[in-house]
Structure 1
Amino acid sequence: MQEAAAKIMPRVDRQFIGKVHSEVHAGTGVCLVTCEFDLASYQPELFVELGVAMPESIARSVPKRQAEFLAGRYAAALALQHLAPVRHQDVQVGIGEKRNPLWPTGVVGSISHVDGMAVCAVSHTADKDYLGIDVEVVMSTRVCREVARIVSTRQERELLCGLGLSERVALTLIFSAKESLFKALYPSVRDYFGFEVAEVTELHLEEQTLVLTLTERFAAGHKLPQDYQCQFTQGEHWIQSVTCGKFHGRANLKAVP
C-alpha cells in the first residue's frame, strides 16, 4: 500500500465481519485497517475460518471477549499484509502476559475495538518507535460526570471546551488520546501509568491534532521525551486517536522484548 488513497477491502465473512476499510493514515503515515463485526453472529469456529489462532487465555474468555479479539486480530492480519509480502503464518499477532499484542519482529502496532468496530494501526520499526491507537464511543452525560475528574484536569476541560468542543466530546477525546498514548509507550516502559501522568496541553482543531505532555517526573524516570502529538478523527458517534513517532536522539530506547 504505497498510495495514500483509502480503499475498501473485500469481505471474507458477511455474517460476522462486515465492511473492511484500509488506508494509509493521512496524518501519521501508518497503515490503518478498520473492520465492522457483528457480535450476535460470533461462533468460535470463525477463528479457523478467518485464519486467526485462538490463544488459551482467549479460549477461556466469554464470547464477547473472543469476538473482539477475533475481529481485532483479523484487522491486524490485513494490516500486516500491507507492510510487506508475508506468508499466512507470519501474520499471527499473539497476546502477552498483560494482554498486550505481540507483533512480528520489525513491526510496531496497536489494536482497539468498541461497539462492533475493530481498528488496527501498524508500521515498520524503521519508521516508528512507538504507535498506539484507540477508538471510543462518545461518552454519555452520565459517564462524563462519573469520570471527568479521573481522566482529566480542570485545565484540560477548559482548554478543549474553550475551543468549541462539547463536554462529552472533550472528555471522550481526552480519554481516547491518553489511551492511545498508553498503548504507544507501554512496550517501552512496561509501566501501567494512569491518566494523571499525561495532560493535553495543545489542541489544533483544524489539523485534528493535540499535544500530550508527560509529567516531568515520569518522563525523567523512564528517559522519555515529554511531548507527544496525537492525531484524532471524529465520527458521528465515536472518536479515534493515533499517537506515534520516533524517539529522536534516543536510539538506545527500544521496546522491551
Structure 2
Amino acid sequence: MSNYLYIPEQISKSIYEISSPIFLTSELFCYGLDLSQTTHLHIDQQLEHPLKIAQARVERKNEYLCGRVLVQAVLNHHFGLDQSITSMHEPLPIWPTHVLGSISHSQNKLIVALSSHAVYLGIDIEHWVTSEFAQESAHLILTPSEFDLWKSKAVDFFDFAHYVSLIFSVKESLYKAVYPAAKQYIDFLEASIVDINFKNQTLTLNFLSEIQQRYQLLEQYEGGWTIEQNHIMTWVFQSRNFA
C-alpha cells in the first residue's frame, strides 16, 4: 500500500464536473458538492480506504473520499498540482507548500476551500440548528459578550437559532484556521466575536489572552458568512496580500 491515497484522473474529473464554485471572499477558491449526486459513482468502492475511515459506515466513507477527491481536483485545476494530500495513515490533509485548504460537510452538503495566499484558513458549513438546540446549548457556544451582541444588534437580523448557528459555525471555522498553530482543541467559550458587520456579513474574532499566548496565536482573526435557505457557510481567512 502506498503512503498516499491514489485518485485516478477520471474520478477527480467526475467529481469536479458535478461541483459548483462558491464565492465566499476574494483569493479563495471554494467549491460545493451535493453528496446525493455522487452515489452513482461508488467512490468508496473505487478507492482505497485510509486508516481514518477504515471502520466507518458507507456514507461517511463517501463523504470523506469525495472531500479529498474534490480538493485534489481544485488543486489540479487552479494550481496545476497533482500531488496527493491524503495520507493513508495521518488523519489530516497534508497540504502542498504555499497552499492552505479546508474541508467541511453537513448532512448531504460538502464544501472545500483553497488558497495560495492564506495567512490562515478555515471554513465550515452547518445546517440551521433547531430552536430547542439553540436554547439548550447556547451557554456552551456563546460568551457573555455574544449574548449581549444578540440582544443589542443581532436580533434585528437573525432569530436566535440562526444566530447560534452563525456563532457555532464561525467558531468551527476559526478552530480549523488555528489548528496548524495550536494543534489542540479549543473550547467554544475561549473565543469571542469582537466586531461584526451584519450588512457586509463580516466579523472579527479573538481568543482569551491566556489562550492566545499559550498557543502563540494572532491577536485577531477575520471571518465572514454567507447564507443559503437551509444552511450557513462561514469562513475565517486572511490573505497575505492584506496582512
TM-score, length basis structure 1 = 0.79
Check 1:133–1:216 CA distance in 2 against 1; reply closer, same or farther (3 A cut): same
Which structure's residues are more often helix, by fraction? Answer: 2
Residues 115 and 174 of structure 1, relative CA distance in 2, 3 Å threshold: same
- The aligned counterpart of 2:161 is 168
Q: C-alpha offsets along residues 104-131 of structure 1, whole Å, 9 cap, x if unaligned? A: 233211100011111001111xx11211
Q: Counterpart of 2:79 in 1: which secondary structure?
A: coil
**Structure 2: distance between partners of 1:40 and 1:246:** 32
- Aligned equivalent of 2:87: 94
| Counterparts in 2 of 1:179 and 1:73: CA distance versus 1, 3 Å | same
**Higher RCO (C-alpha 8 Å, min separation 6):** 2
Compared CA separation, residues 100 and 56, structure 1 to 2 (3 A): closer
Aligned to 1:135: 125
Deviations 1:148-188 (A, max 9, x none): 00011232133145332210111000000000000000011
Letter in 1 for 2:176: K
Aligned match of 2:14: 12
Which amino acid is 2:134 matched to?
A: C
Q: Distance in 1 between matches of 2:96 and 2:89?
A: 13
Q: Find the partner of 2:191 among 185, 188, 198.
A: 198
**2:110 aligned residue (109, 118, 121):** 118
Other-structure match for 1:29 = 27
Identity %: 25
Q: Within the alignment, does 1:46 sit opposite 2:39 as a pair?
A: no
Aligned residues: 228
Unpaired runs of at least 5, structure 2? 1-11
8 Å contact from structure 2 (residues 24, 225) kept in 1: no
Is 1:75–1:118's contact at 8 Å kept on the other side of the alignment? no
Counterpart CA distance in 1 for 2:197 and 2:234 is 14
Mapped pair 1:207 → 2:197: no
Which letter does structure 1 place at the counterpart of 2:58? P
Q: Which residue of 1 aligns with 2:144?
A: 154
Q: Distance in 2 between matches of 1:95 and 1:110?
A: 18
Q: Alpha carbons of 1:147 and 1:247: their partners in 2 closer, same or farther (altered >3 Å)?
A: farther
C-alpha deviation, 1:240, in angstroms = 0.6
Is the contact between residue 11 and residue 20 of structure 1 (CA under 8 Å) also seen in structure 2?
no
Which residue of the partner structure matches residue 63 of structure 1?
58
Q: Structure 1 residues 132 and 53, CA, compared in 2 at 3 Å: closer, same or farther?
A: farther
Q: 2:122 and 2:166 mapped to 1: Cα distance?
A: 14
Cα deviation, 1:200-257, whole Å, max 9, x if unaligned, reads 1221011110111111111112222221111210111111111112689x9xxxxxxx
CA contact (8 A) 1:157 1:167 kept: no
What's the C-alpha RMSD, in Å, of the aligned pairs? 2.8
